[in-house]
Amino acid sequence: MFRICKLALLAIASLTVIPVGSAMAATLTGKAPIVIGHRGASGYRPEHTLAAYELAIEMGADYIEPDVVSTKDGVLIARHENEISGTTDVANRADFANRKTTKTIDGLPVTGWFTEDFTLAEIKTLRAKERVPFRDQSYNGQFEIPTLQEVIDLAKRKSVETGRTIGIYPETKHPTYFKSIGLSLEEPLVNVLKTNGYDSPDDAVFIQSFEVSNLQFLKTLTNLPLVQLFDASSAKPYDFVASGDSRTYGDLLTSTGLAGIAQYAKGIGPWKRLIIPADTVDNNGDGKPDDLNGDGVISDADKPLQQPTSLINDAHAAGLLVHAYTFRSDDFFLAPDYNGNPEAEYEQFFKLGVDGVFSDFPDTAVAVRNRVAGEPNKDVPEPTSLLAFGILPLAEILRRRKAQ
Ligand SMILES: [Ca+2]
Ligand SMILES: [Ca+2]
Ligand SMILES: [Ca+2]
């Protein structure tokens, strides 16, 4: 009992870390931040399906995010990995049993079924399933794997239906690997986009990658804005690993690194922990991370937040947009400081001046964005009303949260 009280007190104390009462920082452009439906509304439907993207649009997402990999016949399809047993029913297909194999992807052994070993016609016989075990499994087996073209068709159709411009935000997955097997992603990606009329810096398209050299190559192929993704500081872009470049993502976060990125990219897509770090605690002194929510596993829910870094300001100083990932409402993924309220997390990041968020739950992201940071098609809130948000006492904020 005493220990629970102690943890509760610590949790309350850590709340003061959240700058919910701080004044609102500006985005790079002064416009309201964008909401990107991460793999679609993937908190509600199996990721990277037309159903997931359509729901994201209906929930108000400004952009939908297809990750792209290649089929054997060179068609770009929407999947988070080229190994597809985690998100499709391929493992249950006796006719494809002999396609199971082990490959080295980005330096690591991966066993399963790979998109580059299937034609598009074969891929189309598979059905998507939910990856995350604690999310809704009732849609498993219903949806096809969409091509990039089908995702674009959906965005265009929904733009007409809704009267909003629905943007697309494709990510090249494992670009060095796909190049190594003769199926490079960049040319077909640019070709599909150009065929659909996307080639201007003002088009509602961002192309993103965790690698550096393929973005620099894309810069020579297209005028569309590019976004450099960032993994944890100690990790390295895989093209750097492959070429013997020893720099890490942390090295690219310096002012010199960011200035270099601004030569080819319009923005960065950092892991949100590069903006607000979090880590486990050992308050009971047993030498192991404390399981703060007592669910038997250590997850984001057991990592209290720390003070924000200067990354948003640093990126803005280099002229770069900041689109942070990934925002998820599930308790498993939510820092303890938010007390189970995902709205508090969006509010914190919007007040720090983030230019966009990748969200699995775009309905919540859009609601908080519209309330806290203004709506994209309306004027940005007056500074005086922002100040009112800024001086709202913590107790009042907590009271309002309870009332929700
Ligand atoms: Ca992605
Ligand atoms: Ca402990
Ligand atoms: Ca836990």
CA of 66 to the centre of ligand 1 (A): 7
What is the model's pLDDT at position 22? 58
Which tokens is 179 given? 């190049």
Using an 8 Å Cβ cutoff, are 166 and 155 in contact? yes
Q: Which ligand is located closest to the Cα atom of residue 7?
A: 2
Position 110 scores a pLDDT of 98
Q: What is the pLDDT of residue 23?
A: 76
d(CA 297, ligand 3 centre) in Å: 4
User: Which-ligand-closest: CA of 209?
Assistant: 1
Ligand nearest to the CA of residue 289, numbered in listed order: 2
Can you tell me the distance from the alpha carbon of 90 to that of 16, in angstroms, rounded to the nearest whole number?
A: 48
Which residues are close to ligand 2, an ion, with C-beta < 5 A? 282, 284, 286, 288, 290
Interval between CA 334 and ligand 3 midpoint (Å): 11
Cα 89 to ligand 3 centre (Å): 30
**Cα 349 to ligand 2 centre (Å):** 29
Instruction: State the pLDDT at residue 377.
Output: 62
Cα 226 to ligand 3 centre (Å): 37
Task: Give the pLDDT of residue 115.
Answer: 98
Kindly give the distance from the C-alpha atom of residue 295 to the centroid of ligand 3, in angstroms, as a whole number. 5
Determine how β-strand 76-78 pairs with β-strand 67-70: antiparallel
List the structure tokens of 151: 């995702």
Instruction: Give the ligand at the shortest distance from the Cα of 42.
Output: 1
Ligand 3 centroid vs 138 CA: distance in angstroms? 26
Question: What was the pLDDT predicted at 376?
Answer: 76
pLDDT in 10s for each residue of the chain, 404 residues = 344 444 444 444 344 344 445 578 999 999 999 999 999 999 999 999 999 999 999 999 999 999 999 999 999 999 999 999 999 999 999 999 999 999 999 999 999 999 999 999 999 999 999 999 999 999 999 999 999 999 999 999 999 999 999 999 999 999 999 999 999 999 999 999 999 999 999 999 999 999 999 999 999 999 999 999 999 999 999 999 999 999 999 999 999 999 999 999 999 999 999 999 999 999 999 999 999 999 999 999 999 999 999 999 999 999 999 999 999 999 999 999 999 999 999 999 999 999 999 999 999 999 999 999 888 765 444 434 434 444 333 433 333 343 43
pTM > 0.85: yes or no? yes
- Quote the ligand 2 centre to 18 CA distance (angstroms): 23
Show the beta-strand stretches assigned E in 108-249. Answer: 108-112, 167-168, 171-172, 207-209, 226-230
**CA–CA separation, 98 and 95 (whole Å):** 8
Token digits for 241?
Answer: 């690993």
User: Which token pair is 225?
Assistant: 């804005």
Backbone φ, ψ for residue 258 (5° rounding): -65, -40
Three-state secondary-structure class, residue 323: strand
Residues 6+ apart with CB under 8 A from 395: none
Distance 171 CA to ligand 1 centre (A): 6
Q: The tokens 């005028």 sit on which residue?
A: 223
